[in-house]
Structure 1
């Protein structure tokens, strides 16, 4: 054994560790010098010397070999049973602070402008404690399972000895919390919450089977009493409703919204595919972003957050269109039914997904990144499930579902919508005036916040850019997201009146030209921000931040108005394609599950990826295929039955005579 190893063994011996761990660590070191296979497998699956590119940031996340590590079995005891198994952990490389190491830390972390990206991944930045620097890296270590998480650092420091000697430093690493795993560590055992979820699934599945068989043998079920509850869960009813394709659109139905909803959802999923694709571990983390920001074809993805504004526009249209059409049929607007229906319509499916993430999800996979994805989801969902179900998660930093912020903003806008709906029903001119006043207030708030806080034009992804405050004060802030919703409410009122407006061909052509020009300008002007010669101007940023949502809503609003009023041409034929209807019904379920499908793949990842457009679109197609059966299952088991029950409980009465009189 070399003097270096003997010295390191001596250091380990004087460290505080339990006897079994200390003996196993010594056997591990001795096994390396004796060329024991299990010992070299343990070392081989760990990070000894960081590999990969420095300027690309690949070295920041070193996953080692997860499967090789957990397959390690130590030497046998007297009974012939292995004394320990391989324990896989992530550690943060640390070293004692000196003038030389301070310069190293500055060079590796700050000068590369990657500290923020790593901090977001690990929830920590480079820290200094008692003259020890802890870098926010995620490097793999394989150690004996007899060692506690803290004692695993002894193995990490030993393995990093060669790397530390190059820089003349003494390693003093720490284990990332909740990152360790070995076979038989007890993490595979279901807890009470998970068993409750499994019981819930069994009960729902059993009731669906009973309901389906009941309707199969007794097809003419009366719509009364408990039989309504039976029929609501029947697969015959719900599958038939899902795949039913109308020969002609129902009167008053805005069929073009189905296509717009589906296309916007695909835009959202594609944007999230790229966003998660460039998260660590990635071989070309920096260059792929710099390359993408110079490509015109990538502008729709870099400004893909406009797809969310489209959903806000659609929500605003329907929230006023439906009660106004109901009023024309003699039905009164009941604010309490409106609130109850709105909450119960989407909350059960959201609650089931939240419950699943906080219980069963973590047990169905394992991998080097699994604790970052599934483990983090379980922890956050158990702690912050209530803001999700109360729809205030946009104001909570760590929310259960990352995409739930949109549901919270949309629900909050819907809860405030009667402030506008009631005036539109009784005094339309006052209602439209109120929309105008609120739009001006929204414009002023967006302009002022962007200017004062010196926020960027919109959500941007550039290495080294801190967007956390922007997300809190602007992106997820309900009043600052209300502009498309308000435009949608005004458009919903206009569409509900069903006036036959005759436009000359030149006016229609002008409307399409202006709509296309405005939307394309908004999408592609984001390239200005990513230009290498771009200089930030707070006034320009404030104007873009406050006007682009209004312009986008007006541009898309024209498309909807033109399609509904017969001026859509081929665009209406595409958006009103009848096969969009089933996908539109599944859109909410798709939205709920798609990020978890993406995170599931990330958690199972064993190696760093190389990102290109082909790989991203390959993943995008795979996510759509995987999301489809999961969304159908969620729709048939939860969403469709709940909608059937709500329709029965809040069924509309027979319409009275249409109201007449002068319009106010």
Structure 2
């Protein structure tokens, strides 16, 4: 109990420190004045021979001439630390390009041709930079200043680049509305439930109300998290697969957040920025398919082992587990957005979430946001939860169709036919409004339609989910009929296929495909290889790999997989926006150190959210459906 209270105090203290740091940082900025004030401040700095200090923090524009599309943020700290009696500094991002009359071939291609920087020549040779000017200057002043800077040079400013998001700094009075009040009230009620439930942990469960509050007991939930039961029916290797996938997704989010700082358009920035390991980071998106394979398999095993299926209980329990966490994050986001309304726009990355949560919050709660508003989500990375719940809805239908087939060959044939049909649907009906490079096949422009179709809808992800359901039925048939005997030939075949699958998985991560056809093929190979690895481990033929995946240290991370996936981007975002120096070009050592720092800081809040929210509402769902919880064991 004391440990839980201590962890809670640390988590709250970290959040207060983040807010306090930003409140202190806010005082360094002033309101905008008119154009005269801007140029008058520049004149004063020039007369005082202090303007050189600001110029030293500008981007080195001349070096861009040799590197193709790239970005240089200049000396961020030096600009904001500039001291003057009355004039405050302002840090602005700009975008410029070569004049149309110049020969574009004079710019050298980046030496490493990754899927990202192969697009360098399709962006009109654009460059990014930064300038440091007085805070009294408006957006139009910035354009006028840069026009004079580029006068007589080979550069011009880009006309379609909105400077407002990255230059204008204003003090905004936070607005208290009904959305904020309701969100704060809901969080307060949940906190009260958690506190009461924790204090009555050892009270005998003699009534429904005591059981209700005990569902929120952090002490009991933490004990459940750290318990490692030896369950014969449990597929232990799934813990390692799910835990490693969770760590990989966390690693991807950690680096993608640094890639997009301080831009909102992450795709363009990833093209402009030559990240050494960008192809490796992007390829980790495939781990979402591993999540769905494991989820499909576990859902199918639950249905197979249930003698009588109650659909409303089946759906309600899973809705409670998935939605409760999303609901709390919406409330948390509303409060954070209220706080960050006070900050200048370059540090306010959650601005769009306020309106999206007000308008589309109900679609997020009903898990239909991928159909209603795929490009304006309240919590963008919650698309996985929506897709997963949509696939869970159809899981009983798939289960019943496979359950009627007693013959293993028929089950396998039906599964292959359905997978081929889904693959053909992906290839034939994929939207054509996208642009590919004729030589490499790399996507040049990702419009909303193609992103919504290939990333946010269940039509694509159902292949992974269905393969997990099919694998569960194959394992069940094998347990009943011993389809794969343990003779030497079968063992040899299983081991050969197992190691080939491991090689295929590693190859995909480190060799990101450039061709569209290869991308689709790699996705199918990944699904088949992952399923084969799980199957071989279940047969006890995985050897050292199976022992590694079955280690008990993976179990807590596996249990908290959903919480880590949903909550970690919030804490990573807070860490990024409170940094005073953008972190763009990363070496291998920097990537690892940044990941470990993010993991260390996010660990306590993630554990707290899991034992107070996800685990609590999972217990509550079981209690309300009378399926029993661990609370009933000890009275």
CA deviation digits over 1:623-649, x for unaligned, max 9? Answer: 222221121121122111101111111
- Specify which structure has the bigger relative contact order, considering alpha-carbon pairs within 8 angstroms and separated by 6 or more residues: 2
Q: Give 1:90-105 correspondences, 5 Å limit.
A: 90=92, 92=94, 101-103=99-101
Match of 1:466 among 426, 437, 445: 445
CA distance in 2, matches of 1:453, 1:528: 27
The CA distance in 2 between the partners of 1:110 and 1:186, in whole Å, is 44
SS in structure 2 at match of 1:88: strand
CA shift at 1:266, angstroms? 1.4
Question: Retained in 1: the 8 A contact 2:322–2:385?
Answer: no
Within 2, Cα distance between the matches of 1:601 and 1:633? 18
Equivalent of 2:73 in 34, 57, 62: 62
Alignment partner of 1:359 is 2:335: yes
Task: Pick one of 632, 636, 647 that aligns with 2:607.
Answer: 632
Structure 2 Cα separation of the partners of residues 553 and 174 of structure 1: 41
Is there any run of 5+ residues in structure 2 with no aligned partner, and where?
1-30, 264-268, 630-635
Task: Quote the Cα distance in structure 2 between the aligned partners of 1:347 and 1:109.
Answer: 51
Cα 1:112/1:194, change in 2 over 3 Å: farther
Mean Cα deviation higher: 63-72 or 345-354: 63-72
Q: Secondary structure at the match of 2:90?
A: strand
Distance (Å, rounded) in 2 between the aligned partners of 1:55 and 1:204? 57
- Give yes or no for contact 2:82–2:89 (8 Å, CA) kept in 1: no
* Shift in Å, 1:325: 0.6
Pair 554,381 (structure 1): closer, same or farther in 2 beyond 3 Å: same
Q: What residue is the counterpart of 2:351 in the other structure?
A: 375
Q: Which residue of structure 2 lines up, in the alignment, with residue 177 of structure 1? A: 164
Q: Give the drift of 1:438.
A: 2.3
- 1:474–1:480 Cα contact (<8 Å) kept: yes
1:240 is aligned to 2:214:
no
Cα 1:482–1:23 change in 2 (3 A) is closer
Q: Give the Cα–Cα distance (whole angstroms) in 1 for the partners of residues 537 and 157 of structure 2.
A: 69
Q: Which moved more, 1:405-414 or 1:566-575?
A: 566-575
Q: Using the alignment, how far apart are the partners of 2:241 and 2:145 within structure 1?
A: 58
Q: CA deviation at 1:370?
A: 2.1
In 2 relative to 1, CA 224–326 (structure 1 residues): closer, same or farther, beyond 3 Å? farther
Q: Deviations over 1:304-362 (max 9, x none)?
A: 333222111111111211011122xxxx1122222222222111111222332343157
* Structure of larger gyration radius: 1
The 8 Å contact of residues 256 and 572 in structure 1, kept in 2 or not, is answered as yes
Q: Paired residue for 1:346, among 322, 328, 333?
A: 322
1:563 aligns with 2:537: yes
**Equivalent-residue separation in structure 1 for 2:338 and 2:537 (angstroms):** 46
- Report the secondary structure of 1:103's partner residue: coil
Selected match of 2:192 from 206, 215, 221: 206
The Cα offsets for residues 336-393 of structure 1, whole Å up to 9 and x where unpaired, read as 222222222111111222332343157369688423x333444544454344333344
Instruction: Give the superposition deviation at 1:106.
Output: 6.8
- Name the CA shift for 1:611/1:652 in 2 (closer, same or farther; >3 Å): same
Among candidates 463, 480, 501, match of residue 460 of structure 2: 480
Contact 1:260–1:575, Cα closer than 8 Å, also in 2: yes
CA contact (8 A) 1:233 1:641 kept: yes
> 1:89 touches 1:175 (CA, 8 Å); kept in 2?
no
Instruction: Tell me the SS of whatever aligns to 2:164.
Output: coil
Counterpart position of 1:507: 490
User: What does residue range 229-268 of structure 1 map to in structure 2 within 5 Å?
Assistant: 229-246=212-229, 248-249=230-231, 251-268=232-249
1:240-288 Cα distance to aligned partner (Å, 9 max, x none): 1111222x22x42222211111011112223334444444679x97898
2:547 is equivalent to residue 573 of structure 1: yes
TM-score by length of 2: 0.76
Compared with structure 1, are the counterparts of its residues 108 and 276 closer, same or farther at alpha carbon in structure 2 (3 Å cutoff)?
Answer: farther
Q: Distance in 2 between matches of 1:173 and 1:625?
A: 40
Superposed CA offset, 1:603-656 (max 9, x none): 3342453311111111122222222112112112211110111111123389xx
Partner residue of 2:291 out of 301, 311, 333: 311
- Greater mean alpha carbon deviation, residues 268-277 or residues 587-596: 268-277
The alpha carbon displacement at 1:40 in A equals: 6.7
Q: Distance in 2 between matches of 1:280 and 1:107?
A: 30
Q: Give the C-alpha shift of residue 203 in structure 1.
A: 3.4
Taking the aligned partners of 1:474 and 1:34, their CA distance within structure 2 comes to 57
Correspondence 1:86 to 2:88: yes
Post-superposition Cα deviations, 1:68-117, rounded to whole Å, max 9, x if no partner, equal: 54876664xxxxxxxxx63736465579xxxx943369789999999x98
Q: Mean Cα displacement is larger for which, 355-364 or 423-432? A: 423-432
CA distance in 2, matches of 1:235, 1:168: 60
Q: Secondary structure at the match of 1:348?
A: helix
Residue 585 (structure 1) aligns with: 559
Q: Extract unaligned runs of 5+ from structure 1.
A: 1-17, 76-84, 127-133, 655-664
CA contact (8 A) 2:245 2:291 kept: yes
What's the RMSD between the two structures over aligned residues? 4.5
Name 1:31's counterpart in structure 2. Answer: 44
> CA contact under 8 A between 1:156 and 1:173: conserved in structure 2?
no
Give, in whole Å, the separation in 1 of the partners of 2:417 and 2:58. Answer: 60
| Counterpart position of 1:6 | none
Q: Specify the alignment match of 2:204 in structure 1.
A: 221
Pairing 1:285-300 to 2, within 5 Å after superposition: 292=277
